[in-house]
Amino acid sequence: MIPQIREPKMGMSPGTFSFHFNNRPILSFRNDNWLCFEVKRNKDNLHTPPHSGVFHNQGHQHSRLHTEVCFLTWVRSQLSRDHCYQVTWYLSWSPCVDCALQIADFLDEHPNVNLTIYVARLYYFWRLYFRWGLRRMVEHGAQVHIMSSEVPEKAGDTQGYAGLGEAHDPMMGISPNIFYNQFHNRTGQKDTWLCFEVTEKENSNSSGSCPRSGVFRNQGPPSTPCHAEVRFFTWFQKVLSPDLHYQVTWYISWSPCADCADLVVDFLAKHRNVNLTIFTARLYYHHIPEMHCGLRRMYEEGARVYIMSVKEFEYCWDNFVYNKGKQFVPWNGLNENYKSLVSKLKKILGL
């Protein structure tokens, strides 16, 4: 039975805000969780004013309906499958484990929704179970940050995020819905997701060791995201050794933008012990000459660039997706889209 949810409030008093959003790590008598939200449609509907408001826990103390559940129940009736949405939360406490799991399920059910969460405090951050809940949300697509007095900072850049992993640590995998919606080779979502494998070799003749692998995605505020490629290189430079040779393989939902292509070129020029192979699901703005130049420069610097085929999609599904033993099911038009993209890429690279 769906609970009866009160409509969101339009705002709160200054005293309520100061009391509940105080960001001291541990505070007494702040049991309520307050959620300020904004829901915006995609770029095609910028003229549409965003929904905004405030929720907090509803019900009696021992049978309380958490504020995140209140929002998710309310927002379902506001969403349309025909639009993409950017949802932003400002929370006084980070979600508990049960709410984190409901958020992950919600994002799986609504691949047209991007969720960014800014929290004033981390709820029971010293308990592994609560850390796992936050990781679960991130693996299913939520972006989680700590609130600051000016520009929201990435959660990993603050001491309050201790134990959750550093800002540039990769995720271990992604959900099936994220994979199907982000890696679709015609109608995929706008975010960039990067699945990677890094194999170390002591010299050019030795066999590779067990590969390191993981997943990165765009991180940071929607207006100034840190691109997935930047996050990979920031992480990779921490584990890179000049005494080893590396084979790096990317499976990426969008080919690198011009700026990230320049970053790839500079990195490969400085690290001759690194070979990079890129399989991309789609070509980013392939009609713009600047993007052509970026792809050509990467290719000329030694990066091998390919379009993902069914073989690569199946490999990603088996190695980077929480697939619960299910097989990858190709979508209609996958092979046709693949052939069209291969033709475009060959033309761009002059092959």
Where in the sequence numbering do the catalytic residues fall?
Answer: 229
**Dihedral sign for Cα atoms in the order 289, 295, 299, 304:** negative
Distance CA 180, CA 186 (A): 11
Nearest to 38 by CA among 107, 115, 92: 115
- Specify whether the CB–CB gap between 279 and 246 falls below 8 A: no
The secondary structure of 101-162 as a DSSP string is HHHHHHHHH-TTEEEEEEESS-TTTTSHHHHHHHHHHHHTT-EEEE--SSSPEEGGGSGGGT
Distance in angstroms (rounded) separating the CA atoms of residues 54 and 34:
7
Query: What is the CA 69 to chain-centroid distance, rounded?
Result: 22
Residue 196: beta bridge partners? 214, 250
265 with 236: CB under 8 angstroms?
A: no
Type of residue numbered 51: H
Could you give the count of Cα atoms lying within 13 Å of 275 in the half-sphere of its Cβ? 12
Nearest Cα to 179, choosing from 15, 4, 37, 329? 329
Record the tokens describing residue 256, joined without a space.
Answer: 């690198």
What whole-number distance in Å separates Cα of residue 9 and Cα of residue 216?
A: 36
User: What tokens were used for 91?
Assistant: 């929370």
Between β-strands 274-280 and 304-307, what pairing exists: parallel, antiparallel or unpaired?
A: parallel
Q: How many CA atoms lie within 13 A of 78 on its CB side?
A: 19
Q: Which helix (H) or strand (E) holds 338?
A: helix 334-349
